[in-house]
Amino acid sequence: MKFIFLSFLDLCNQKLSDMRKILLSLALVLSFAYAQAQTEKGDWMVGGGFQLNTSDDNTQIALTPNAGLFVINNLAVGGNLVFDYSKDGNNKITEFGIGHFVRYYFTKANVRPILHANLNFTSLRIKAPSFSNTENGLNYFLAGGAAIFISDQVSIDGLMGYAHSKYGSSGNGGFALIIGFQVYLLKRQMDKVRGR
């Protein structure tokens, strides 16, 4: 009798284990299907990046918020702002910019390759003990990278590419690496916010 009871318990444990595997597989399939809707036409993305650099007598703080709309599946267009403050000794540099971006996602996986480009119109103010100067300019950034989805609606983005800035007759450019994040708002969520 004891043997039959233990065999029955083993069978129940095996069935529970199989059931857990089935439920886990179903949950993964459903989460993958849900993830498919993150970059579809009508969805929104909101995010940006934050940068803080400090050393002995040098500080830089940069904030770059953005918001975009997916105009077709996997293609978002939107706007971004740039706030950048640097202090090097007694010299202070403040930059404000506004512009637009375009971003394309290549797959529907949890790690998605992306292409990104943005163009910003900026105002740069340099204030030193002996002078102060303000210049308007233009900068652009062309990059590739990946969006790593850490949840159904949040990704951490890494972008590498070429950044170029031009103020007056002078300009400079070079390699840039940007780490940021995005929150994805589905069309039905935005419709609820708007009361539709």
**pLDDT tens, 7-57?**
544 545 565 455 556 544 544 444 444 445 589 999 999 999 888 888 777
Regarding whether 25 and 52 lie in a shared domain, the answer is no
What percent of the chain stands above pLDDT 90?
59
- Cα radius of gyration (the chain): 25
Regarding whether 97 and 19 lie in a shared domain, the answer is no
Regarding whether 180 and 88 lie in a shared domain, the answer is yes
Regarding whether 174 and 108 lie in a shared domain, the answer is yes
Q: By residue range, what is the domain housing residue 150?
A: 40-194
What pLDDT does 128 receive? 92
Regarding whether 164 and 107 lie in a shared domain, the answer is yes
Regarding whether 51 and 117 lie in a shared domain, the answer is yes
Which is more confidently placed, 77 or 6?
Answer: 77
* CATH number of 109's domain: 2.40.160.20
CB contact set of 148 (below 8 Å; sequence gap of 6+): 110, 111, 155, 156, 157, 158
Amino acid identity at 48: G
Cα angle 44, 48, 50 (rounded to 5 degrees) comes to 165
- How far is it, in rounded angstroms, from Cα 154 to Cα 104? 16
Quote the tokens at residue 129: 């003990």
Strands 154-167 vs 132-151: parallel, antiparallel or unpaired: antiparallel
Dump pLDDT digits (tens) for 58-104.
888 999 999 999 999 999 999 999 999 999 888 999 999 999 999 99
What pLDDT does 159 receive? 95
Q: To 10 degrees, the CA torsion angle through 64, 65, 66, 67?
A: 180
What pLDDT does 34 receive? 44
